[in-house]
Chains A and B, each alone.
Chain A
Amino acid sequence: MYVIKKYLGIIWMLLAVVTIVLLVYAALTNISSEGKTDIHNPLPWIIIITIYTPIAFGLAIFGYYAFKEEYT
């Protein structure tokens, strides 16, 4: 169990990076002046990416702590 908890830490760190990359990609793909819903509006994306960046950073720190066996 300790080994699983430790090496899943790498997954959590990678997940943090992937989440931000996916969010930015989704924002660039969907922002459009022609669309009428929120997903086409840049403002929600700016707010979401701004608030999610420190959260993803927190997930990476969580992964780092898990890898360093801080949770065992």
Chain B
Amino acid sequence: MSSNKGIWKIIAASSVGTLIEWYDFYIFGSLAIIISEKFFPSENPTTAFLATLATFAAGFIVRPFGALFFGRLGDLIGRKHTFLLTLIIMGGGTFLIGCIPSYQSFHLAPYVILLLRLLQGLALGGEYGGAATYVAEHAPAHKRGYYTSWIQTTATLGLFISLIVIITIQSSLSKEAFNNWGWRLPFLLSIILVIVSIIIRMKMSESPLFAKLKTEGKISKNPLKESFGKKQNLKMVLLALFGATMGQGVVWYTSQFYTQTFLLKTCGLDSTQTNTWLGIALLIATPFFIFFGWLSDKTGRKIIMMSGLLLAIIFYRPIFSALYDLTNIKNKQEISSVIDVKKIIHPSIAHDSLIIKTTQVVYNDNSKMIVEEKYTESVVKAGNNKPQEFKKIVTLSNAYKWKIIGLIFILVLFVTMVYGPIAAFLVELFPTKIRYTSMSLPYHIGNGVFGGLVPFTVTLISTMPGSNYLSGLWYPIGVAIICFIIGILYLSNKNNELSEEENFSNN
């Protein structure tokens, strides 16, 4: 095991690289609307097809495939070189996305962007397992949860930093400049961080447990076959997926991402307010990843992860309902409203002039709402008063700030409970020679597939008869319930030693 000073270097080098990979992966998602405008014009069916492929294939297919590909590599050639490679692929892919000319001047751009996005998914699939395994294999058994929990903070901090970088660049540039070229800066900036991280990682040595196996000639000859072809290991892979990562994935995605979508789309909250308050809640909650990782060394991993799942199951609906009520203008008293109507005359078709009706309402608690309705004159003249475009933006008064942040914080706290101890839990389930392969797949299926399916399923459920604004939550709640039952019944609360060979125990 490494000295106290050495372990912090290892944690820092591993965490910074993983943080950058998460940042790279998120900025594509956060800038999806601009990327779509620049590279995937919706009027072109081929580019629309490629856009859908980029959204779904990167998370659903390529991430688990990356877990298998790089997991195998990590168990064959070592952890250090493998997660160095994933960092280079992710950093290179992200930088190139920032360099590709738009579809207007380069018609192959959608294909190149799709390829780069798939490379990002592939690299992310290989990164996490490597970083978690590398840190765990350096850590003493009684501090494994604590040390690996630093890796667990990176997914949330990556999201936080991506939001900060985008908000900072957006506020420093005009809207036009940001749309023209400023959106490329978060992608280009990544290369500096990646180079620094590569230099740090190159100076690191191989994991001591893997190096020992290699010296003794005991490394696996076929990690995929040993991981998934041997019943003794396969049953633990399945248990890790259905008893832990599946539930963790939906809780993680719902609390961090669905909350943002819910506030923006369902509640109509102003985007700057949403992102700022979400960012504050993420920042306040982040130390709890480390706290619960540390606690799992004392109490066992299972009890903390299952408690997080149970709390999410019980409190998701009340918390989202409270968020909805706080932002609902029907619960507020209107004190003034100003209506402004603008008519933009079409240069050639007189009856197609655009009418924009903007209503600004102020409420008794100082909250404001702006409703923008767009009509074309020809439609109004035909007797149809339904707007073709309707946009409602609610800006809450500062009195709500800490109430909303508090509710988001509780949601993210559930994530810290299920996610903080999970790296230590996963590495302890599998033997050194196939650890990278065996832990990466259930992690990325849990997060990429079960978690990544949250927005799609929410839309699906919302189309069902009798559904309301909370109905979409039945998907994460349902998955979390199944995972909770499996986890409670079949998982062990005993923290295992890291073994060279199979050393499985459940109850």
Contact = CB atoms under 8 A, between A and B. Distances in A.
Interface of A: 1, 4-5, 8, 12, 15, 26, 30, 37-39, 41, 43-44, 47-48, 50-52, 55, 58-59, 61-62, 65-66, 70-72
A43 B52 contact: yes
Given A52-B449, A55-B445, A44 B238 contact: no
Given A43-B52, A47-B56, A71 B490 contact: yes
Nearest to B445: A55
A55 B246 CA distance: 11
A15 B482 contact: yes
Contacts of A65: 231, 235, 238
B238 A62 contact: yes
A70 B61 contact: no
A37 B238 contact: no
A48 B490 contact: no
B224 interface: no
Contacts of B234: 61
B57 interface: yes
Given A1-B489, A43-B56, A71-B506, 19 more contacts: A12-B242, A12-B486, A15-B482, A30-B460, A37-B459, A38-B56, A38-B459, A43-B52, A44-B456, A48-B453, A51-B61, A55-B241, A58-B238, A59-B238, A65-B231, A70-B231, A71-B235, A71-B239, A71-B490
Contacts of A44: 52, 56, 456
16 contacts: A1-B489, A5-B490, A8-B485, A38-B52, A39-B459, A44-B56, A47-B56, A47-B57, A47-B61, A48-B56, A48-B456, A51-B60, A52-B449, A59-B238, A62-B486, A70-B231
Interface string B39-59: 000000000010011011100
A4 B489 contact: yes
B215 interface: no
Best-surrounded residue of A8, A15, A30, A44 (most CB of chain B within 10 A): A44
A51 B485 CA distance: 24
A58 B61 CA distance: 16
B205 interface: no
Contacts of A55: 241, 445, 449
Q: Is the interface of B mostly helix, strand, loop or mixed?
A: helix
B242 A41 contact: no
Interface in B226-257: 231, 234-235, 238-239, 241-242
B64 interface: yes
Q: Is the interface of A mostly helix, strand, loop or mixed?
A: helix
A67 B304 CA distance: 27
Contacts of A5: 489-490
Contact of A62 (B55, B61, B242, B463): B242
Interface in B481-505: 482, 485-486, 489-490
Which 6 residue pairs of A and B lie closest in terms of their CB atoms, listed nearest first? A62-B238, A71-B490, A47-B56, A65-B235, A51-B60, A44-B56
B3 interface: no
Given A55-B449, A65-B238, A71-B235, A47 B60 contact: yes
B238 to A, nearest CB: 4
A44 B52 CA distance: 7
Contacts of B64: 51
Interface string B442-486: 000100010001001001100100000000000000000010011
A39 B460 contact: yes
Contacts of B482: 15
Given A8-B489, A51-B64, A58 B506 contact: no
A61 B456 CA distance: 27
B490 A39 contact: no
B316 to A, nearest CB: 21
A35 to B, nearest CB: 9
Contacts of B463: 30, 39
